[in-house]
Amino acid sequence: MAVIKTTESDVRLLARLMRAEAEGEGDLGMLMAGNVMVNRVRSACLDFVHIDNVERMVWQSPGGFEATQKGYFYQGAREREMNLARKLIRGERHHPAEFSLWFFRPTGSCPAQWWGQWNTGRYKLHCFYSPTSQDCPQVYTVF
């Protein structure tokens, strides 16, 4: 069962973004970055009220992903990342990103809050931030 509607083009786009944002952190790092991406599509809250599909999530501006401004993002999707993207589309989640809507790579330790959202943990170089269930109940929906 898919937790977001996608086309094969969406799968390729999600796979490219996951790789461009987190390939250096391995499959698990890409899955966590992808959790954030899928959560933005499924959660009509906060900065993501109008982000209701993969394409809008990828190209959101302001507030989108820096990787879309880099050449690496524009390389074709590989089967490995497409398989990871499909896992996320089917609802796979990974702590600390399972309910997160943001991540970033600080130069030092993870701040307790980032843009008013609480840190839920770190994986390698990325810190993950989740809204409260009051601010964004959809992200906490169990499927």
So what's the pLDDT on residue 27?
A: 98
So what's the pLDDT on residue 142?
A: 80
For the chain, which domains are there?
8-140 (1.10.10.2520)
So what's the pLDDT on residue 1?
A: 84
Q: How does pLDDT run across 15-45, given as a tens digit for each residue?
A: 999 999 999 999 999 999 999 999 999 999 9
> What is residue 99's three-state secondary structure?
coil
Question: What's the average model confidence in pLDDT over 3-9?
Answer: 97
Looking at per-residue confidence, does 1 or 13 come out higher? 13
So what's the pLDDT on residue 56?
A: 97
Cis omega before residue 106 (within 30°)?
Answer: no
CA separation for the pair 13, 49 (Å, rounded): 20
CA angle 18, 56, 88 (to 5 degrees): 40
* Contact indicator for 114, 51 with CB cutoff of 8 Å: no
So what's the pLDDT on residue 138?
A: 93
Q: How does pLDDT run across 75-120, given as a tens digit for each residue?
A: 999 999 999 999 999 999 999 999 999 999 999 999 999 989 999 9
